[in-house]
Amino acid sequence: MGILNVTPDSFSDGGRWASPTRAVEHARAMVDDGADLIDVGGESTRPGSTRPSVDEELHRVVPVVEAIAGLGVPISVDTMRAEVARVAIGAGASIVNDVSGGLADDSMLATVAAHADVDYVAMHWRAHGSVMNAEAHYDDVVADVTRELLQRRDAALAAGIAADRLVLDPGYGFSKTGEQNWQLFADNGSFLQHGHRVLVGVSRKRFLGELLAADGVPRPAERRDAATQALTTLCALQGVWAVRTHEVRGQRDAVEVVARLRSTSTTRPARGTDDSGSLTGAAPDPGR
Ligand code: PMM
């Protein structure tokens, strides 16, 4: 899933693709590099960010969704607002990527449920960017995130979103410290046990910059792609459905390597191997 942030202030690519013309060029380049999906977002969710108005978000997102609808890959809209989701679906989006899992807007789940052919990504989330870091308190980060995410899953099902339309995302970097992100990733496979596709968004995130810091200074965002690729490889091995990424070519290569390895190992099945990986071929969810 290639990231197309049409925001002035995202942490890694803020402002770069803000004009529709540049956004379309970048989307095309990501498809050429092997992206299977494009995720268009008009609100920065980075810690400390302030929210745009609904009109401003619509103004950023909708012309870009319309313009890239002809590229031949599904479009996801990264929004917490039902109104933006509704208009973006009308403009050509077929996935709603809601980092709040329905918590930020009471109308979101019903809006998505009203479109039976639209997928819904529910991410683990506790609070908006302005206050999210203050919420990074857990007794057991894996157990707590799992419990809270499954509550959002249950809310989505209760609202009428079909189970096979749901994608779960642990929400790396959202109300989580660096250490908590690593603990979550160490147990990333556990999110796959619930029968839903899993999306992972670790691309260029701060915990990678901290890992690669020199003299106490985090590695800049645009130099975190190799570390991102290492995590993409692990995701592909685990059977994660998609990774949300700024840099596409290297991630695609990582996925191809794992897919090749899997097709090789299937000629001599290893005991305990789980073949359900979606990044690398077969879909993990029962319904599709
Ligand atoms: N992270 C960001 C934005 N949207 N959506 C999902 N589903 N998962 C994520 O981890 C996620 C997201 C923040 O990263 P960005 O500012 O680089 O887009």
Atom of ligand 1 nearest to the CA of 5: 18
Give the per-residue pLDDT at 40.
Answer: 97
Question: If you measure from the C-alpha of residue 108 to the centroid of ligand 1, how many angstroms do you get, rounded to a whole number?
Answer: 18
Per-residue pLDDT of 111-166, as tens digits, reads: 999 999 999 999 999 999 888 888 899 999 999 999 999 999 999 999 999 999 99
Report yes or no on 194 lying in a domain: yes
**Any catalytic annotation for residue 205?**
yes
Query: If you take atom 3 of ligand 1, which residue's CA is the nearest one?
Result: 45
Which amino acids bring their CB within 6 angstroms of ligand 1? 3, 5, 10-12, 41, 44-46, 78, 97, 99, 121, 123, 169, 171-172, 199, 201, 244
Pocket test for ligand 1, best of 84, 99, 108 (most atoms within 8 A of CB): 99
Q: Which residue has the higher pLDDT, 144 or 15?
A: 144
- Amino acid 107: pLDDT: 98
CA gap 221, 262 in Å, rounded: 31
Q: What is the CA radius of gyration of the chain?
A: 18
pLDDT tens-digit profile of 222-255? 999 999 999 999 999 999 999 999 999 999 999 9
Cα 257 to middle of ligand 1, angstroms = 25
Q: Give the CATH number for residue 98.
A: 3.20.20.20
Confidence of residue 285 (pLDDT cuts 50, 70, 90): very low
Segments of 20-59 assigned E as strands? 38-41
Q: Is 186 exposed, middle or buried (0-12, 13-18, 19+ CB in 10 A)?
A: exposed
- 36 within domain boundaries: yes
Residue 274 lies in a domain: no
pLDDT tens readout for residues 65-107: 999 999 999 999 999 999 999 999 999 999 999 999 999 999 9
Contact 106, 154 (CB under 8 A): no
Q: How many other CB atoms are found less than 10 A from the CB of residue 72?
A: 7
Q: List C-alpha distances in Å: 232 to 123, 139, 142, 162, 228.
A: 18, 28, 20, 27, 6
Q: Which pLDDT belongs to residue 151?
A: 98
Question: Mean pLDDT score of the chain, rounded to an integer?
Answer: 91
**Smallest CA separation from ligand 1 atom 1, residue:** 201
Banded model confidence at residue 45, pLDDT cuts 50, 70, 90: confident
Which of 86, 152, 176, 244 is an active site residue? 244
Domain that holds residue 237: 2-257
Q: Report residue 10 as tokens.
A: 């995202």
Structural domain includes residue 265: no
Domain assignment of residue 150, yes or no: yes
Q: Considering its fold, how many domains does the chain have in total?
A: 1
Q: DSSP 3-state helix, strand, coil percentages of the chain (rounded to 5)?
A: 45, 10, 45
Please indicate, yes or no, if residue 192 is contained in any of the structural domains. yes
Assigned domain for 239 exists: yes
Residue 73 forms part of a structural domain: yes
Give the pLDDT band of residue 9 (cuts 50, 70, 90).
Answer: low
10-19, 116-125, 136-145, 256-265: lowest mean pLDDT where?
10-19
Q: 114 CA to middle of ligand 1, Å? A: 25
